[in-house]
Chain A
């Protein structure tokens, strides 16, 4: 088991409030990712990290920021939550070493509702 946990599992928040989701991993993986899942869209990449303090944008990054101050933690922040950010958020870590990439291990997900 890759040892990846997400918190919280569920959250309801009001429009305009900031929200931070946490992804924690225990096996020193370098690459971490945040995706959102919405019906009809599959999973879409929000941001990713390739090391401590090294992050970059994905295809749906507007309204989101991330931070990675330690290898084990990757935080996703919604600066001012909107209803369009109601979604299920998944964190993932890259499996495999060096040039051999055999996909991701996903966290359990965070169901976020913005009211």
Chain B
């Protein structure tokens, strides 16, 4: 059974600081996805990582994937208040009808 763990579960950080969210998973996979969810809203896709060593960047967010370590990171650079949201990673396994298993989410709060 695939398990996906995120840490931390909650992160309070000051504007301008850097931090990293970690996503570990239990079964070999090269398909990892990051989503953002604002309070009371749906999930929107941030990054799609489909190979070992993949790195994607969008603004102050950068995601990477290490399939050998079964680890993905979401790095936040110089945080701003607008990044406050809950971030989920999700892992897919080949041949499973594209089912995704989600982590529990990391609630990020960026304070002034």
Binding site for B on A (CB under 8 A): 31, 33, 35, 40-45, 48, 50, 56, 58, 90, 94-95, 101-109
Contact = CB atoms under 8 A, between A and B. Distances in A.
Interface string B31-65: 10101000001111100101000000000000000
Contacts of A95: 45
Decide if the interface of chain B is mainly helix, strand, loop or mixed.
strand
Contacts, number: 56
A104 B92 CA distance: 11
Contacts of B101: 45
A40 B106 CA distance: 10
Interface string B86-112: 001010100001111111110000000
Nearest to B48: A102
Contacts of A44: 102
A89 to B, nearest CB: 11
B99 A33 contact: yes
Interface string B55-90: 000000000000000000000000000000000101
B42 A103 contact: no
A106 B102 contact: no
Contact of A94 (B88, B90, B98): B98
Contact of B104 (A42, A50, A105, A108): A42
Contact of A42 (B31, B88, B92, B99): B88
